[in-house]
Homo-oligomer: A and B are copies of this chain.
Amino acid sequence: MPLLFAMTYRAMTDQMHDRLQELGREPLRPAHGYVFRYLIETPEAVTIVELASRLDVTKQAASKTVAELVGWGYIERCPHPTDRRAQVLALTARGRDYVRLADQIWTEVEQYWAGIVGQDRIEAIRQDLSAYLDSRYGDERVKMRPVW
C-alpha cells in the first residue's frame, strides 16, 4: 500500500515536470516547491532558521537551498526590520509567477485524475489521508521532508 503512495507521488510529480518541460520552464525540485509554499502561506517575515525548522533540515541545508533560489531570482533576502543579524526571505515577482504556474499545473494533474475516478473520490481520499495524519500527529506540525 505505501508503495502505491510512493509510486503515485512519483508519477504525479513526473507528470508535472513533463508539463513544465513542455512549457519550457525549468522544473525546480520538490524542496524548492516546499520553500515557495511556506513563503506564500506565511504572512509574517520568514527567516532561514524558521524555514529550516519547518523543512526539518539543518539551517545550513536551508541556507544552501535559499542561496540557489536567490541565484535564480525566485526569492530575495531583505534586511530584517528589527534584528540586524537576520534576513527576511520573500518571493520575487518571478517567484510568485512560478508558484501560480505550478498551482495551475497541479490542478490540471488532479483534474486528469478526477477524470478517471471522479472528483468525489478525490475528495474522499483527501479526507482519509488527512484523517490518518491527524491521528498520527495531531496538532503537531507534520514535517515534509524527503520520503526516501
The reply to whether A133 and B2 contact each other, CB–CB distance below 8 Å, is no
**Shortest Cβ distance from residue A141 to the other chain B in the assembled complex, whole angstroms:** 11
Give this chain's copy count: 2
Binding site for B on A (CB under 8 A): 1-13, 15-16, 29-31, 37, 106, 109-110, 113, 116-117, 121-122, 124-133, 135-137, 142-148
The secondary-structure label for the interface of chain A is helix
Contacts of A146 in B (CB 8 A): 146-148
How distant is the Cα of A8 from the Cα of B125 in the complex, in angstroms?
11
The reply to whether A130 and B4 contact each other, CB–CB distance below 8 Å, is yes
Contacts of A147 in B (CB 8 A): 6, 9-10, 13, 146-148
- The residue in chain B whose Cβ has the minimal distance to the Cβ of A2 is B12
Contacts of A132 in B (CB 8 A): 8, 11-12, 113, 116-117
Contacts of A124 in B (CB 8 A): 121, 124
Of the residues B5, B11, B117, B127, contact of A9 by C-beta under 8 Å: B5
Contacts of A121 in B (CB 8 A): 124, 128
How distant is the Cα of A15 from the Cα of B16 in the complex, in angstroms?
29
The reply to whether A117 and B128 contact each other, CB–CB distance below 8 Å, is yes
Contacts of A11 in B (CB 8 A): 132-133, 136-137, 142
